Amino acid sequence: MTEQQQPARTTSGHHPTSAAAGTRLDPWLGSYADRTHAMRASEIRALFAVANRPEVVSLAGGMPFLEGLPLDDLAELAARTVATRGLTALQYGSGQGDETLREQILEVMRLEAIDAHPDDVVVTTGSQQALDLVTRIFIDPGDVVVAEAPSYVGALGVFRAYQAEVVHVPIDADGLVPELLDETLTALRAAGRRVKFLYTVPNFHNPAGVSISLERRPRILEVAARHGVLVLEDNPYGLLGFDGEPRPAMRSMSEEGVIYLGSFSKTFAPGYRVGWAVAPHAVREKLVLASESAILCPSNASQLAISTYLQTFDWRGQIKSYREQYRDRRDAMVDALAEHMPDATWTVPDGGFYTWVRLPDGLDAKDMLPRAVTARVAYVPGTAFYFDGTGSDHMRLSFCYPTPERIREGVRRLAGVVRGERELVELFGTSAGPGRDSVQAPGPDLA
Amino acid sequence: MTEQQQPARTTSGHHPTSAAAGTRLDPWLGSYADRTHAMRASEIRALFAVANRPEVVSLAGGMPFLEGLPLDDLAELAARTVATRGLTALQYGSGQGDETLREQILEVMRLEAIDAHPDDVVVTTGSQQALDLVTRIFIDPGDVVVAEAPSYVGALGVFRAYQAEVVHVPIDADGLVPELLDETLTALRAAGRRVKFLYTVPNFHNPAGVSISLERRPRILEVAARHGVLVLEDNPYGLLGFDGEPRPAMRSMSEEGVIYLGSFSKTFAPGYRVGWAVAPHAVREKLVLASESAILCPSNASQLAISTYLQTFDWRGQIKSYREQYRDRRDAMVDALAEHMPDATWTVPDGGFYTWVRLPDGLDAKDMLPRAVTARVAYVPGTAFYFDGTGSDHMRLSFCYPTPERIREGVRRLAGVVRGERELVELFGTSAGPGRDSVQAPGPDLA
């Protein structure tokens, strides 16, 4: 975005349709693949530039709060990894990932009752890459992915990039509703559509903050199996529950029917970009081939850093510390919502990073966003989490990164914006009242 | 491969077509995308398991020789990065890559006369990811990529994964032949084919060891521009020339007609998985969107490690040291070939990692490979470097990783295998003589 505001630089080159002076036409516009026309900037990513300004309270991003990490100890760990295992850390590695790390990942997953073999695990560049690889090996253009309504914006972006169609299934306070899943899959089959997989975030859902109840998990697996549909269980937040023990993963109940995605980004740190997939044997082989084609191999430097961390640090204690920290922030968030925005409704998550807020009738979270940023608070409008761009009556508020005090201040600012919107609605019947166009002039991405 | 030799584990799960006891059928075989059927294990990757055995002299892999790196200093650097910039190193970053690193990359590229802006650069998970992203945004199934004959196996794998068709153009001692490129593009246009880009490794070609002469570079750009074809300049080895200064990159001669790919894997270390692309403005925007969809963002930990390395180390001195080291090994390789394999012919590279050997008439490098491994020497048969699997009269020998002494020993062993093959050819008219089937029993991937 920033580039578009710069003076166009002069261009050289032999291509006959090179950009004319003063504009920047794309000489390769006619050369892109079909899938490229479906790519567009995620509303979350576009917000980053704004949300990073210090005066804005960002309730938008999903960045974990890392300031509690023992950086000096981690520095010592990084040094030891390079000094003692540098020739491995700095070299190419296996496409599937470091074997020791894959064994340690099994230990992490045992907390969610998963029993697997190191051969079942593929290490990826964050679990986002695992999402990309699974979609790559399964989706032809026009295939259907069934996903919760709403769904993680980054997953929807991947499905869109591979030209899938996403059909949403409603959720409630206990997560995905098995009966509605069954109805949806039955209708899709009747319509002759090819459904390749069900995408679900079963724990502390992004953005909705709910979890699939224990009772529903086997029922969802039964419905999916009956329709011949693979389950893609995306679980970055499962160990970040605020109360009680982690729920058993869907993967713990089905070895052949589930691809499970995990990540160290939320339980440790995202900067290493280390996630993983656990897949049925034959699928795992395809994932490794696809990953070798995409990146040759994941970073040994990152993998060995994580492996040494798991071996030498109290990683369970660190997760406990994260849980307590995020619980305090969740409390700050829902208390502030109750105090300042009594006319909205919201989920009260028992883990993870997000609450899902329904605005009072007549308000549009996407339209309101520029005014919110002007009031120095940012969030993600619900439209980002629906494949068809509906969901404008909702917003996602994240409580992971700002301090409790900042969260309260952010909600207070947001409530002021909502009050202003409601006054517009009462006066004009819509919030698209006077000043709307000029305020929106920078466009929905707030560039 | 190893898994297939293990006893099948019992499987659970609800899917109706779960694997029967004792076999491992793929219950999802009918669900894969079309592109997945085109994925297959690269002959190089499959060789890794064998080539890593200490008794085998591997002239197969492309792993750089890292033992000259100052690991203690690098360890201290890693510690400092985490201690002083840990909250950035461990956090999510920009999809396009760290801005400081992008500025430093400009400094590296200035050695090849490239004049660019930090906004033109996209940092990727190794330049393999850049290859994947470029192919992703340009290639629809059935589109044509024009590439040198032979071409880097990992690029061919990416093109195959996106269902491109690769049309090869011959090269000679001065690299890609402009007239033959022109003829090929003209014929493809006459046949109504959509050619999306020309893929070339202009310096110290993998596998052929040759470089495109200075005189040919603008001519190739002119031909490509006249046909409306983008040039994908893949340049991991450009700074590893044994004599003289680096050649100006094709990107230095055309800003709008070239996507340039660079990498730290060969000039520093591959374990961080940091490469980059430089692309025309509009293409760069698409690459960033595609990369965010694929991995969200490259690893900040890796990027900051590289950035600190470039800032605090004599990285030019390290490259000089690599050049001297690889020149010694190149000398050992070509001397040994002259001594032991006078009936073969080979290129004498003035940089990079590889020489390209043509076997005496009647020999087949792919058929011979199992016997070579039995004789404790490994290489990559030429067939890996042609889209249609031709090239069996050639082999790629890499001199990057083994010591000069081991290289001489490897070539000596290889010469013994070649002699044995020639005796078979003389006796039977083909090397597919007695014992061939039994020796080949483990299959071409030597599992």
Q: What is the pLDDT of residues A216-260, one digit of tens each?
A: 999 999 999 999 999 999 999 999 999 989 999 999 999 999 999
Q: Any idea which of A126-140, B3-17, B123-137, B426-440 has the lowest mean pLDDT?
A: B3-17
Domain presence at residue A435: no
- Measure in Å the smallest separation between the Cα of B361 and chain A Cα atoms: 33
Element (H, E) at B165: strand B165-172
Q: How far is CA B348 from CA B48, B217, B328, B338, B356, in A?
A: 25, 21, 13, 11, 8
Q: Are A385 and A152 in contact (CB under 8 A)?
A: yes
> Is B66 within 8 Å of A31 when comparing Cβ atoms?
no
> Is B301 within 8 Å of A302 when comparing Cβ atoms?
yes
Domain presence at residue B114: yes
- pLDDT band, residue A17 (cuts 50/70/90): very low
pTM of the model: 0.91
pLDDT given at position B45: 59
Contact list in A for residue B51 (CB cut-off 8 A) is none
Residue with tokens 């985490």: B82
Token pair, residue A359, equals 């605005």
> Is A117 within 8 Å of B272 when comparing Cβ atoms?
no
Q: Which of B33, B66, B80 sits opposite A138 (nearest CB)?
A: B33
Q: Which of B29, B24, B40, B25 is nearest to B445 (CA)?
A: B40
Q: Are residues B119 and B168 in the same domain?
A: yes
> Is A132 within 8 Å of B293 when comparing Cβ atoms?
yes
> Is A15 within 8 Å of B76 when comparing Cβ atoms?
no
- pLDDT band, residue A61 (cuts 50/70/90): confident
Q: Are residues B375 and B286 in the same domain?
A: no
- pLDDT band, residue A361 (cuts 50/70/90): very high
Q: Which of A14, A119, A271 sits opposite B301 (nearest CB)?
A: A271
Q: Which of B294, B299, B302, B233 is nearest to B264 (CA)?
A: B302
pLDDT given at position B61: 87
Chain A: residue nearest B61 by CA? A92
Domain presence at residue B25: no
CATH number at residue A381: 3.90.1150.10
- Measure in Å the smallest separation between the Cα of B339 and chain A Cα atoms: 32
Over residues B111-126, the mean pLDDT reads 98
Dist CA B91 CA B179 (whole Å): 50
Please provide the average confidence, as pLDDT, over all residues in chain B. 90
Q: Which of A81, A57, A232 is nearest to B74 (CA)?
A: A81
Q: Any idea which of A140-154, B27-41, B232-246 has the lowest mean pLDDT?
A: B27-41
Dist CA A377 CA B383 (whole Å): 59
Q: Which of A189, A196, A186 is nearest to A166 (CA)?
A: A196
- Measure in Å the smallest separation between the Cα of B225 and chain A Cα atoms: 5
pLDDT given at position A51: 64
Q: Are residues B158 and B300 in the same domain?
A: yes
> Is A90 within 8 Å of B270 when comparing Cβ atoms?
yes
pLDDT given at position A425: 85
Over residues A292-304, the mean pLDDT reads 96
A196 vs B53: which has the higher pLDDT: A196
pLDDT given at position A45: 59
- Which DSSP string do the residues of B192-256 spell out, in sequence order? T--EEEEEE--SS-TTT-----TTHHHHHHHHHHHTT-EEEEE-SSTT-BSSSPPPPPGGGG-SS
pLDDT given at position A203: 98
Please provide the average confidence, as pLDDT, over all residues in chain A. 90
Domain presence at residue B372: yes
Q: Any idea which of A146-160, A163-177, A325-339, B27-41 has the lowest mean pLDDT?
A: B27-41
Q: Which of A16, A40, A86 sits opposite B225 (nearest CB)?
A: A16
Over residues B282-288, the mean pLDDT reads 96
Dist CA A95 CA A93 (whole Å): 7
pLDDT given at position A11: 39
A12 vs B169: which has the higher pLDDT: B169
Q: Are residues B158 and B296 in the same domain?
A: yes
Test mutation, B295, B302, B307, B318, chain A, max A CBs within 10 A? B295
The CA-CA-CA angle for residues B232, B238, B242, to 5°, reads: 155
Q: pLDDT tens, B64-88? A: 999 989 999 999 999 999 999 999 9
Q: Any idea which of B11-25, B193-207, B291-305 has the lowest mean pLDDT?
A: B11-25
Name, in order, each residue with C-beta under 8 angstroms of B428's C-beta and a sequence gap of 6 or more: none
Q: Are B163 and B38 in contact (CB under 8 A)?
A: yes
Chain A: residue nearest B71 by CA? A83
Q: Are residues B156 and B92 in the same domain?
A: yes
* Strands annotated E in A6-163: 57-58, 121-125, 144-149
Which of the listed residues A312, A327, A355 is the one where a domain comes to its end? A312
pLDDT given at position A150: 98
Name the domain count of chain B: 2
> Is B92 within 8 Å of A283 when comparing Cβ atoms?
no
Is the pLDDT at B443 greater than 50? The verdict is no
Q: Residue-wise over B256-273: b if at least 16 C-beta within 10 A, else e?
A: bbbbbbbbbbbbbbbbbb
Chain B: residue nearest A298 by CA? B273
Q: What is the ipTM of this complex?
A: 0.91
Test mutation, B273, B278, B398, chain A, max A CBs within 10 A? B273
Q: pLDDT tens, A102-146? A: 999 999 999 999 999 999 999 999 999 999 999 999 999 999 999
Q: Are residues B337 and B192 in the same domain?
A: no
End-to-end C-alpha distance for chain B, whole angstroms:
6
Q: How far is CA A336 from CA A243, A310, A397, in A?
A: 21, 36, 12
Q: What's the length of chain A?
A: 447
Q: Which of A90, A140, A157 sits opposite B33 (nearest CB)?
A: A140
Q: Are residues A353 and A297 in the same domain?
A: no
Token pair, residue A386, equals 């629906």
- pLDDT band, residue A7 (cuts 50/70/90): very low
CATH number at residue B200: 3.40.640.10
Which of the listed residues A312, A337, A363 is the one where a domain comes to its end? A312
Domain presence at residue B444: no
pLDDT given at position A53: 84
Backbone angles phi, psi at A174, to 5 degrees: -100, 20
Domain presence at residue B439: no
Q: Are residues B391 and B364 in the same domain?
A: yes
Token pair, residue B84, equals 């002083």
pLDDT given at position B441: 28
- pLDDT band, residue A37 (cuts 50/70/90): confident
Test mutation, B292, B300, B353, chain A, max A CBs within 10 A? B292
> Is A45 within 8 Å of B95 when comparing Cβ atoms?
yes
Q: Any idea which of A300-309, A330-339, A368-377 has the lowest mean pLDDT?
A: A368-377
Strands B144-149 vs B165-172: parallel, antiparallel or unpaired: parallel
Backbone angles phi, psi at B51, to 5 degrees: -65, -25
Chain A: residue nearest B47 by CA? A94
Q: Any idea which of B16-20, B70-74, B277-281 has the lowest mean pLDDT?
A: B16-20
> Is B71 within 8 Å of A88 when comparing Cβ atoms?
no
pLDDT given at position B18: 39
Q: Are residues A187 and A298 in the same domain?
A: yes
pLDDT given at position B4: 35
Which of the listed residues A312, A328, A362 is the one where a domain comes to its end? A312
Give percent of chain A with pLDDT exceeding 90.
83
Over residues B144-156, the mean pLDDT reads 97
- Measure in Å the smallest separation between the Cα of B66 and chain A Cα atoms: 7
Q: Which of B221, B270, B282 sits opposite A92 (nearest CB)?
A: B270
Q: Which of A2, A83, A269 sits opposite B90 (nearest CB)?
A: A269
Strands B258-263 vs B230-234: parallel, antiparallel or unpaired: parallel
Q: Which of B271, B293, B294 sits opposite A299 (nearest CB)?
A: B271
Q: Are residues B155 and B209 in the same domain?
A: yes
Backbone angles phi, psi at B233, to 5 degrees: -95, 105
Dist CA A251 CA A224 (whole Å): 13
pLDDT given at position A268: 97
Q: Are residues A346 and A249 in the same domain?
A: no
Chain B: residue nearest A93 by CA? B271
Is the pLDDT at B434 greater than 60? The verdict is no
Contact list in B for residue A272 (CB cut-off 8 A) is 90, 299, 301-302
- pLDDT band, residue B429 (cuts 50/70/90): confident
Contact list in A for residue B18 (CB cut-off 8 A) is 256
- Measure in Å the smallest separation between the Cα of A232 and chain B Cα atoms: 13
pLDDT given at position B51: 64
> Is B271 within 8 Å of A301 when comparing Cβ atoms?
yes
Chain B: residue nearest A36 by CA? B137
Domain presence at residue A4: no
Q: Which of A256, A154, A148 is nearest to A204 (CA)?
A: A148
Rg (CA), chain A: 23
Token pair, residue B7, equals 């006893």
- Measure in Å the smallest separation between the Cα of A427 and chain B Cα atoms: 41
3-state secondary structure of A323: helix
Domain presence at residue A438: no
Structural domain span for residue B111:
88-312
**Separation of CA A232 from chain center:** 14
3-state secondary structure of A85: helix
Contact list in A for residue B116 (CB cut-off 8 A) is none
- pLDDT band, residue B38 (cuts 50/70/90): confident
> Is A271 within 8 Å of B80 when comparing Cβ atoms?
no
Chain A: residue nearest B19 by CA? A256
| Helices A99-110 and A300-312, axial angle in degrees (round to 10) | 50
| Helices B300-312 and B71-89, axial angle in degrees (round to 10) | 130
Contact pairs from chain A to chain B, CB under 8 Å: 339
pLDDT given at position B7: 35
Q: Are residues A153 and A281 in the same domain?
A: yes
Give percent of chain B with pLDDT exceeding 90.
83
pLDDT given at position A429: 74
Is the pLDDT at B277 greater than 60? The verdict is yes
> Is B11 within 8 Å of A221 when comparing Cβ atoms?
no
Chain A: residue nearest B274 by CA? A299
Is the pLDDT at B106 greater than 80? The verdict is yes
B162 vs A24: which has the higher pLDDT: B162
3-state secondary structure of B27: coil
Dist CA B233 CA A28 (whole Å): 16
pLDDT given at position A129: 98
